[in-house]
Amino acid sequence: MNLQELNELDLSDIGDWPGFVKAILVLILCAGVGVGWYFYDIEGRYEELARVQKTEEDLRLDFEAKQAKAANLEAYRAQLAEMEESFGAMLRQLPNRTEVADLLVDVSQTGLAAGLEFELFQPQGEVPKDFYAELPIKIRVLGDYHEFGEFVSGLAALPRIVTIHNVQINNQSKSPGDLVMEAMVRTYRYLDEAGD
């Protein structure tokens, strides 16, 4: 069959068309139905499948993270207990209101035991923080480097937390050989739940 015969085909008499033309027409019709079916039904299912796969991946990652935590639950509990114990030990190093006076005496006695002469020992106003209060003490002492070192070492050895800040050492002393150390000593106390 040539192209001229294809032009002469009558749409009202499809039954008389040659077999291969009918086959091509059926193939085009089937392809059209297939494309229509894809866009009507299957494409939506592919999109739904992609959403479900993404959800599955997210849930799998969440599960793996939770499984890792669950596998280490005992280690986390042990670590938490250790942290609570450590925190409790630190809180015991913070005096309560009644122990602050004794701590101030300890600081001054530590300086005297080191051989220092106090020119100034002036507690400042208490500064409240989150769960503790800071009590700064301005000091000015006379002594030599070894006595200063012994004093600072003695402060570190106290059973309570005492820190020393803004240390300035100069030789403006009236006595020959003595140095003057000015510093801010800070001690801390625990603020209990009652809000004192």
Segments making up each domain of the chain, as ranges: 18-71, 95-190
CATH code for the domain defined by 95-190 = 3.30.70.60
pTM here is 0.49
How large is the average pLDDT for residues 138-165? 86
Angstrom CA distances, 142 to 137, 165, 179, stand at 16, 17, 6
Q: What is the pLDDT of residue 18?
A: 72
Those residues whose C-beta lies under 8 Å from the C-beta of residue 1, and which sit 6 or more positions away, are 18, 20, 21
pLDDT in tens, 164-193: 899 898 887 676 667 888 999 888 777 765
Q: What percent of the chain has pLDDT over 90?
A: 10
